[in-house]
Structure 1
């Protein structure tokens, strides 16, 4: 069985973890499949947005326990330390590939998002959770620390004291608490439907402006003020008067939906 499935609806790609009998627990095959899908999507100029979800009763229950033995009995230095994707290793790229995708990524969460699953969700731009979803930075339960890109993404989402508490205790939080502390964007009875609705709204906007906005927000979250201001001006300059922006103006003037190539 393929560990990941992809379906297209116009410019929106629905990426689904596909190991429901294991609550989409992450094994090495899934890591490689997720990275491959993200890389394929990143190269698609027609892509407008991505929805990331899980098949069955959970988004993702974390790393497959069977893999802990392979890590503990193997060569962690040789497995973890080599950089295979720029500054990241294979495990970190599992979540960071979605952060690097040039279009918005929305994670639709249900059941549980534990450990590797939570770090995968943290690589998305937005997280929509079903009521009753449980979330945890689970690694401390196994005597480990988050090492799948979470220490890049989670500090941008969570206040430092919440990040410390969740990392040190491995406690679960409910969707409702996750909303309060900023770990999820919103709660919806049907998170996949809500994520699809948001993705369709995004897909109807100027594709070049959406991609520029994602690049700009990434810089705005991490860079010094002068660099942010320079990038803001550059992205705007590169949009003004170009075909996508002219189509938006024409559509607004004519009272119709814009049409992009």
Structure 2
């Protein structure tokens, strides 16, 4: 595993930290591969209830490392096409698919630059807590190619097609106030309070039964492409299955007796 991707499993929370502050969190191919390995492993870790993605230092993730990209500039057109196709199909897209398939809620805790793949992490997250220093940009059109991290599907669904076109076609840097207005974040906080606010949100998620968390996330994700009747059916199936768990019994008893529930993920 790349030492520039730090993974910590603290209790019921997995913390993934992009630990390359000297490069503003820019990702090399090796770092993307390390991230994919972590995310793939998290899919089978039932003890992990919440996943947090964050950057170390002043920035979240300043996109792909330009060194990896400039290394192919001397190649032929067909070699460049092949290299880009292999990178996208073999690393970026598998990572994105596995992120979106995680049953656990994903929290992105962001500050400073989020560029390219950094924006992808925000869009793949279920909840985004942003410092007031957060900016995003999708510069790919200005770099002679086009969107390549799933942004063309994810961004319009987050902020609407008109705003997505504005951000993607112009490639401009967009600041935190505009991003909050567009609906990119769930919370916007002072930079000094980002870590505290992140832990508050994580604690709030941990106060919900794990089974209920992943079922609710699955329902909301499914609703994007489901018909109304299809969604009613899957709601019924999830609700009935949830009622069969011991955590359901504990939640109701705790509510009746006005105490905090103690969940066992059973």
TM-score, length basis structure 1:
0.92
Query: Which of 213, 217, 229 in structure 2 is aligned with 1:214?
Result: 217
CA contact 2:4–2:19 (8 Å) conserved in 1:
yes
Deviates more, 1:132-141 or 1:110-119: 132-141
8 Å CA contact 2:51, 2:107 repeated in 1: yes
- Residue pair 1:17, 1:53 contacting (<8 A) in 2 also: yes
Which residue pairs with 1:104 in the alignment? 105
Asked whether 1:205 is paired with 2:211, we answer no
Post-superposition offset of 1:17: 0.5
CA–CA separation in structure 2 for the residues paired with 1:98 and 1:108: 15
Q: Does the CA contact (< 8 Å) of 2:156 and 2:163 recur in 1?
A: no
1:198, CA displacement in angstroms?
Answer: 0.9
Instruction: Report the equivalent of 1:223.
Output: 226
Matched, 1:163 2:164: yes
CA distance in 1, matches of 2:128, 2:169: 23
1:21 alignment partner in structure 2? 22
User: How many angstroms does 1:23 deviate by?
Assistant: 0.7
Question: Which residue, out of 178, 195, 198, partners 2:198?
Answer: 195
* Cα 1:62/1:180, change in 2 over 3 Å: same
CA contact (8 A) 1:94 1:148 kept: no
CA distance in 2 between counterparts of 1:38 and 1:239 reads 25
User: Which sections of structure 1, spanning at least 5 residues, go unmatched?
Assistant: none
1:59 lines up with 2:60 in the alignment = yes
Worse-superposed segment, 9-18 or 26-35:
9-18
- Per-residue CA distance 1:156-203 (angstroms, 9 max, x = gap): 102101111111110011111000011222201222321221111111
Aligned to 1:116: 117
Name the structure 1 match of 2:262: 259
1:47 aligns with 2:48: yes
By how many angstroms is 1:89 displaced? 4.2
Q: In the TM superposition, what is the alpha-carbon distance from 1:93 to its structure 2 partner?
A: 3.0
> Which range moved further: 208-217 or 34-43?
34-43
The alignment of Structure 1 onto Structure 2 pairs a total of residues equal to 258
d(CA) in 1 for partners of 2:23, 2:86: 29
Q: Does the 8 Å contact 1:95/1:122 carry over to 2?
A: no
